[in-house]
Amino acid sequence: MRLDGGLGQLTYCSNIHPGETWPEVLDGLRRHLPTVKAAVAPEAPFGLGLRLSAAAAEALAEPAALEALQVLLDEGPYYVFTLNGFPYGTFHGASVKEGAYRPDWSEEARLLYSNRLAEILAIFLPEGMEGSVSTVPGTFKPWALEDDGSRVAAITDNLIRHTAELVAIERRRGRRIVLALEPEPCCFLETIAETVGYFEGRLFGAAAAARLAALSGLSKAEAEAALRRHLGVCYDVCHAAVAFEDPRDSLARLRAAGIRIAKLQLSAALRIPAVGPETRAQLEPFAEPVYLHQTVERGPDGLTRYLDLPEALARGDAARGREWRIHFHVPIFLEAMQDFGTTQGFLREILALHRAEPVTDQLEVETYTWDVLPERYRRAEVGTAIARELNWVRERLG
């Protein structure tokens, strides 16, 4: 839905709904979208943040599947302006962990999947509206650290090849789409500093512009502009909070580097202000087997990073008194939970900055962990909980 005051479009990401095949995705949307729309935008079209697995995206090559999606959109009315192209395969009901980054951007399968998503979005994107596809931040950091440099070179080349596809789509269909890399703890692009360094050093340089020019027929100057136009970031607020970024400074650094913030993902993480003797027992229900819950610890000697929550819990007494932030998306309307806090304060600050000077045209609530939250936090029907999150954002933005 379009927010007043030039504050952009607000939606939620449908990756909260289990479903990998196209019929499962369509069924989830039919069951939950009416509840959400009735509660937040009963009289206006409702924009959709659509998650499609590779299998679902491939199914949409069939005219009947495309027609079914169009029928759904007309019924709402709904419209699609952003896709989540991060998880390629299964995302619910089975162990995902670091598999969420496979295939990474060094692999042809990731390129082909992202090209397909851009084509689908171009079909449904309303005229005059810019679209975005959020994606893996290159690769998982341990894989990059083990590499001799060829993985990063392949990642960069595939991103340039994808940019050439986005240039072709804009020429052919008149729809502009931005690929939004999403920095995440323990990934190749983890911090804002790493992100700025990679964009400036690899994606916005002369070599990248020359490569895109050769692929697309653009001049080098046009290719440089196209890279800045079609490549940007998805700023996930949970990820930034877990990384102990500074809200104002992190946004300012991206702006100063000319890196587009194509989408703000509005999310919150678990926060333990000071680890105590009871912390392990309190957190064990969150150490679930499906998702990776990267944990960052802040102490007097700086930041310590753990790939997953069980690794942090094993640290035991050595972490006493230190702050933990845990990559576990919790409902954004919760300022605190039964035994600990959340990073909602970080999200409030981001929203205040957006209200004062809009960061992007696209805001997407993303609380995909609904079905693995401890039971006491998910007693409401999921559509009702999503609507509560969206209305909480609207209240913060006035």
Does the pTM surpass 0.85? The reply is: yes
> How far apart (Å, rounded) are the C-alpha atoms in residues 8 and 18?
27
Helix (H, G, I), strand (E, B) or coil at 51: strand
Is residue 133 within 8 Å of 83, Cβ to Cβ? yes
Share of the chain above pLDDT 90, in %: 95
Confidence class of residue 113 from pLDDT cuts 50, 70 and 90? very high
Residue 285 amino acid letter: P
Strands 46-51 and 323-330, by their bridges, are: unpaired
Looking at residues 205-232, what average pLDDT do you find?
98
Confidence class of residue 149 from pLDDT cuts 50, 70 and 90? confident
Q: How is domain 4-267+344-397 classified at the architecture level of CATH?
A: Alpha-Beta Barrel (3.20)
Residue-wise pLDDT for 332-386, tens only, equals 999 999 899 999 999 999 999 999 999 999 999 999 999 899 988 888 899 999 9
The predicted structure's pLDDT at residue 3: 96
Check whether 316 has a pLDDT greater than 90.
no
Q: Tell me the longest C-alpha to C-alpha distance in the chain.
A: 63
* Sign of torsion over alpha carbons 190, 193, 195, 201: negative
Q: What is the mean pLDDT of the chain?
A: 96
Residue-wise pLDDT for 18-60, tens only, equals 999 999 999 999 999 999 999 999 999 999 999 999 999 999 9
* Domain ranges, ordered by start, for the chain: 4-267+344-397
71-99: burial string, b at 16+ Cβ within 10 Å, e else: ebbeebebbbbbbbbbbbebbbeeebebe
Q: Which H or E run contains 394?
A: helix 382-397
Check whether 61 has a pLDDT greater than 90.
yes
The predicted structure's pLDDT at residue 378: 85
The predicted structure's pLDDT at residue 168: 98
